[in-house]
Amino acid sequence: MGRLKTAYSVATGILMMAFIGGGCSGDTEAGQFSVDLSAAMKISRCFDVPIGRVGGSDLRSSEYLNQVACVASAQTCLDVKQCLSAAGDGCRPTSDTSSCNGTVLTSCVPLPGHIDHGVLTQTDCSANPDGNTMCGTYDRCFDLPAEERGFRDCPVREVCAASTCMARDARCEGFDLVTCDGGVRIRKNCGNLGLTCVNSDGVPRCAQPGYETCTGNFCSGGKLVLCSVNDSQFSGLPAEEIDCGGLHPDFACIESGNGSYCGVSAPNRVCESGERECINGRTVGICAQGVWVTGSCGGFMSGRCDYSAGSLRCVVGDRSSDGAGSIGGAQALEPCSSGSDCAGGVCGDLSPEIMVCIDPCTDGMCSAGLACIQGYCIPEQLVPAQME
């Protein structure tokens, strides 16, 4: 059998919300990594890029986390693009994609979890909360003689800045971290991030109060304290605490010869970071610091997973799935596009875009929570009142 137009297609939509609403709670395991994966799958589906990096406790700024949470909650690709402030399609984050039009900056910003894939965004620098109200040119080699520039990597791009400047420097002005690099002065209000500006080992940076002088990551009370210094930016990553258990329930803070990190200890690792799987053309599995995090591509706009040429993606439903040439293993209430997807052979409509597998009744009976309607087991909460 194939696709079934069911009596509950126009019902309340409670089941639909389990698949595409409210972020990733129905798609992946608990923890921040599940939010990362939900966002990564939706970005892959909407921008036709590989599923990006999932996990990693570095570079997790509040702005990044808010953006990822917004994407994870998106129900359409339009929602995803709005979360990313997209002003255009996908792009490559290279120096020649940025431009200024008065105070409006157009630039290619890397997609969350990606380095080589980005999205065009537009920002009005005049509204910058840190005072970087002009759109100006950053030139990494601005202070080098012309004869040396040909031997250096000298990227040029447009940025929001406070002013131009002539000499490289960095300093704290109250809570503001003020840097001159690339010929532009940029201000960053550490206080807006709940941090303070400190001069640690000669490197001004934003830091969490209490960790102003740390120089390396370490564990404290089950939390990972990030304290890395990025010399090329004249500032450090904000010193902050990461609740490892908040990333994944099985995580602890691990101290090793290679540094401190959130994850599981070697004896308890069930996979190696970098491992990825596409299961039955629907489910994505990604190893993050020794544990599997899973999610369903079918839970967002009826997509599928595709693992070909070493690239794992969520794609539109009519592309090939896992390279095995067979799907057919989806269980009851899992997403489908036709009966060939389902172990029971029947795919029923929840809406024009959302379909799930449906099992036939057995001797007029169904499992707890399901009702036998027109010969098929339907969730009781979705049965129209006139059919009860």
Nearest to 191 by CA among 180, 205, 206: 206
25-41 average pLDDT score: 71
| Predicted local confidence at residue 190, as pLDDT | 87
Helix, strand, or coil here: 23?
Answer: coil
| Predicted local confidence at residue 266, as pLDDT | 82
Comparing 10-19, 53-62, 67-76, the range with the smallest average pLDDT is 10-19
Residue type for 312, please? Answer: L
- Pick the more confident residue, 352 or 164: 164
Q: For residues 170 and 387, give the distance between their C-alpha atoms in angstroms, rounded to a whole number.
A: 71
Q: For residues 132 and 135, give the distance between their C-alpha atoms in angstroms, rounded to a whole number.
A: 8
pLDDT in tens, 111-136: 988 888 999 999 999 999 999 999 99
Yes or no: say if 335 and 282 are a contact pair by the CB < 8 Å rule: yes
- Cβ neighbours of residue 349 under 8 Å, at least 6 residues apart? 3, 4, 5, 6, 9, 355
Provide the token pair at 3.
Answer: 């696709």
Q: For residues 314 and 306, give the distance between their C-alpha atoms in angstroms, rounded to a whole number.
A: 6
Give the number of C-alpha atoms closer than 13 A to the C-alpha of residue 195, restricted to the C-beta side: 25
Q: Residue 32's CB: how many other CB atoms inside 10 A?
A: 22
215-241 average pLDDT score: 67
162-173 average pLDDT score: 93
Q: For residues 307 and 284, give the distance between their C-alpha atoms in angstroms, rounded to a whole number.
A: 10
| Predicted local confidence at residue 365, as pLDDT | 75
Decide: residue 5, CB within 10 A, 0-12 exposed, 13-18 middle, 19+ buried.
Answer: exposed
| Burial track 248-259 (b if 16+ CB lie within 10 A, e otherwise) | bebbbbbeeeee
pLDDT in tens, 77-107: 999 999 998 887 788 887 578 999 999 999 9
Give 308's DSSP letter: E
Q: For residues 218 and 207, give the distance between their C-alpha atoms in angstroms, rounded to a whole number.
A: 15
Strands (E), 84-211: 86-91, 99-101, 104-110, 118-124, 134-139, 156-161, 163-164, 169-173, 176-181, 184-189, 196-200, 203-207
| Predicted local confidence at residue 20, as pLDDT | 26
248-266 average pLDDT score: 85
Q: For residues 87 and 228, give the distance between their C-alpha atoms in angstroms, rounded to a whole number.
A: 33
C-alpha dist (Å) from residue 378 to 265, 278, 384: 43, 28, 11
Provide the token pair at 302.
Answer: 């009826």
| Predicted local confidence at residue 383, as pLDDT | 63
319-339 average pLDDT score: 55
| Predicted local confidence at residue 289, as pLDDT | 83
| Predicted local confidence at residue 178, as pLDDT | 95
**CA 57 distance to own-chain centroid:** 13
Write down the mean pLDDT value for the chain. Answer: 77
Give 254's DSSP letter: E
Helix, strand, or coil here: 71?
Answer: helix
**CA 167 distance to own-chain centroid:** 37
| Predicted local confidence at residue 16, as pLDDT | 26
Provide the token pair at 315.
Answer: 């794609």
Left (φ > 0), alpha (ψ -120 to 50) or beta: where does 332 sit?
Answer: beta
| Predicted local confidence at residue 81, as pLDDT | 92
User: According to DSSP H, which parts of 25-94 are helical?
Assistant: 32-47, 62-72, 77-83
| Predicted local confidence at residue 195, as pLDDT | 82
In DSSP terms, 137 is beta-bridged to: 158
| Predicted local confidence at residue 97, as pLDDT | 81
| Predicted local confidence at residue 329, as pLDDT | 63
Comparing 187-191, 236-240, 306-310, 358-362, the range with the smallest average pLDDT is 236-240
Provide the token pair at 34.
Answer: 């599940």
| Predicted local confidence at residue 263, as pLDDT | 86
Provide the token pair at 261.
Answer: 């990190």
Yes or no: say if 247 and 262 are a contact pair by the CB < 8 Å rule: yes
- Pick the more confident residue, 317 or 306: 306
